[in-house]
Amino acid sequence: MKTIKYLFLSILSLSALVSCSSDDDTPEVVNEEEVITTVRLELTATSGDIVVLQSQDLDGEGPDEPVYTIEGSILANTEYVGEIQFLNELESPAEDITLEVLEEALDHQVFYIYTTNNAGSTVTYTDLDSDGNPIGVATTFNSGSVSTGNTLVVQLIHEPNKTGDGVSNGDVTNANGSIDANVTFTYDVN
């Protein structure tokens, strides 16, 4: 009898443990906060002309491919002020992840890598983090000569080795780190 009494006591104490289970029936939807769905490179000429190169992937890690668009026309031999924006459009309103990049500027750098550069375009960093190394959100873009099929790869790298050889000049070779965004823009210079 004694054993049975103990047995029931133990079951009782166990059910106390168990009763903290969660039984919400409909799960809450998760709209990912850190996903970058959109990379926008906005180029503003002194004339006020604006060109926007954009890569947008509205299903994040879903199967749909990113959609590349270009608004406006890049004119030859023109200097533009470049400003890059990383957005999460899964959230409404869209979250501007660029702000986080700037907040943690020491841990981030944007790289602009030409794989085809018929125009001889150049991108120069115009911003610095607190250590005096470039971040790459703000740039100067020189369009170069009239040409077609220029390919610019933009990479946002998390925890790069900012003091690596050539890294502060925009050379990604020794940057290491992990890639948070990687988009390819193709454009013509008119």
Partner 1 sequence: MKRLIIGLVIAISSFSYGQNCTYTFLSELKDFHDGSAIESATIYQKENDSYAFSDLDGKFKIENLCAGTLTLTISHANCETKTVSFEIIGDTFKTILIEHHIEELMEVSVTAHVDKKETKTAQETVLKELTLKKYSALSIGDALKEVAGVSSINTGSSIVKPMINGMHSSRLIMLNNNVRLQDQDWGIEHAPNIDVNAASQISVIKGAGALAYGGDAIGGVVVVNPARVFLKDTLFGKTTLSGQSNGRGYSANTKLSKYTKKGWFASVQASLKQNGDFETPDYVLTNTGSNSKGFTFRGGKQNFESGFEVFYSYLNNEIGILKASHIGNIEDLVSAINSLEPLVIEDFSYDINAPKQDVTHQLAKVMYYKRFNNFGKVNLQYDYQNNQRFEYDIRVGDDRDKAALDLKLQTHTLSSDIVLDAFSDYKLKFGIMGRYQNNFANPDTGVRRLIPDYDKYDFGIYATAEHNLNSKMTLDFGLRYDFNRIDAKKFYFTSRWEERGYDEDFSDLIIDDLGTQLLVNPVFDYHNFSVSAGFNYQLNEHNSFIGNYSLSSRPPNPSELFSDGLHHSAARIELGDLNLTKETSNRVSASYNYNSTQFNLTAEAFYNHINDYMYIEPTGIEQTIRGAFPVWEYLQTNAELYGIDLSANYNYNAHFNFSNKSSYTVGNDIENDRPLINIPAFNTRNSITYTNDWKQFSASLTSDWTFEQTRYPDNNFETYIAAIDETVLVDVSTPPSAYQLLNFYSEVTLETSAKTNLNIALSVNNLLDTNYRAYLNRLRYFADDMGRNIMLQLQYNY
Interface with partner 1, residue 71, by CB under 8 A = no
Interface with partner 1, residue 148, by CB under 8 A = no
* Choice between 10 and 73, CB closer to partner 1: 10
- Closest by CA to 80, choosing from 111, 49, 109, 55, is 49
d(CA 129, CA 88): 23
* Choice between 49 and 159, CB closer to partner 1: 159
| Residue 155: half-sphere exposure toward Cβ, Cα within 13 Å | 19
* Choice between 73 and 163, CB closer to partner 1: 163
Among 119, 155, 162, 189, the residue binding partner 1 under the rule CB under 8 A is 155
* Choice between 71 and 91, CB closer to partner 1: 91
In sequence order, the 6+-apart residues with CB closer than 8 A to the CB of 25 are none
Interface with partner 1, residue 19, by CB under 8 A = no
Interface with partner 1, residue 93, by CB under 8 A = no
- Closest by CA to 61, choosing from 34, 84, 39, 25, is 34
DSSP for 57-85 reads: -TTTTSSSPPEEEEES-BPTT-EEEEEEE
- Among the candidate windows 3-11, 40-48, 75-83, 130-138, which touches partner 1 by CB under 8 A? 3-11
**Which amino acid is located at 9 in the chain?**
L
**Cα–Cα–Cα angle for 89, 70, 31, nearest 5°?**
10
Binding site for partner 1 (CB under 8 A): 3-4, 6-7, 10-11, 14, 17-18, 21-23, 25-30, 32-39, 55, 57-66, 90, 97, 100-101, 103-104, 107-108, 111, 113, 115-116, 151, 153, 155, 157-159, 172, 176-184
